[in-house]
Amino acid sequence: SSPNSVDEPHCTICFTELEDGDRVGDIGCMHVFHADCLKMWIQKRNSCPLCNIPVAK
C-alpha cells in the first residue's frame, strides 16, 4: 500500500474509491459516501455509518 492510499477518498459503506463524476451523498457530518450506498444504508439504519449521528430528515 502506498503512503497516499489512506488519503484517497473512498466510500466506507462499499469500501471502493470515490471517483470524479460519482454521485455522492452526505448527511451533514462531512462524511461522504456513494449516493446509492448511502440510500441503501439509510433504509436499514438512520445514522452515519462512521460517526453514528442521526440523519436529519
What does the pLDDT look like over 18-47, one tens digit per residue? 999 999 998 889 899 999 999 999 999 999
pLDDT for the residue numbered 57: 63
Would the pTM of this model clear 0.85, i.e. be above it?
A: no
pLDDT for the residue numbered 44: 94
pLDDT for the residue numbered 36: 97
pLDDT for the residue numbered 23: 95
Count of residues in the chain: 57
The CA distance from 15 to 10, in Å, is 6
